[in-house]
Amino acid sequence: MRVLLDANLFVRYLLDPERESPSAQIIHAAVHGEFTWLLPEALLDELVRAVARKPYLRERIRPEEMAQLAGILESVADMIPRITEPIPAVTRDPKDDDLLAYALVGEADYLVTGDRDLLVLEQIGTLRILTPRAFLEVLRQHKTL
């Protein structure tokens, strides 16, 4: 099972001190190899920049926490190189278009996100777009098979 996680899951993980959120459970499952974790280089760069740039995140996430997570991501995930060709517009947000393109290039089975603009698409080809909670259910079912 190949899965691309949106940056919003990583932010929720870093903001959740108890690490009990669905996002945290999914990240722990990824680290423990319960699925193939796809990570676009561009998404990791976006995450690091967002945490450093946005005051709300900068005040709540220590730089060493972000650095530790980035190191884990790079060591565990299958990195997807940057797409250099133009990406066609499919959604209202070009960042969403980028994420869809990376999911398709990485041959992801699932794109897990909290972004409503992506969630309304539900499925593109064989790519299913799910909330973190819905994906946790997929993981649970996968474990029992």
Cα–Cα distance between 28 and 132 in angstroms, integer? 13
Residue 49: how many other CB atoms lie within 10 Å: 10
Q: Residue 7 sits in a domain of what CATH number?
A: 3.40.50.1010
How many structural domains compose the chain?
A: 1
Three-state secondary structure call for residue 116: helix
For 54-95, write each residue's pLDDT tens digit: 999 999 998 898 999 899 888 999 999 999 999 988 888 888
Mean pLDDT in residue range 43-52:
90
In which domain, by residue range, is 122 found? Answer: 2-144
Query: If DSSP states are collapsed to H, E and C, what string results for 57-106?
Result: HHHHCCHHHHHHHHHHHHHHCEEECCCCCCCCCCCCCHHHHHHHHHHHHC
Is a pLDDT exceeding 80 seen at residue 48? yes
Is a pLDDT exceeding 90 seen at residue 143? no
Q: What would the two tokens of residue 95 be?
A: 């960042």
Is a pLDDT exceeding 70 seen at residue 17? no
User: What is the model's pLDDT at position 145?
Assistant: 52
Residue in the block written with tokens 């903001």: 15
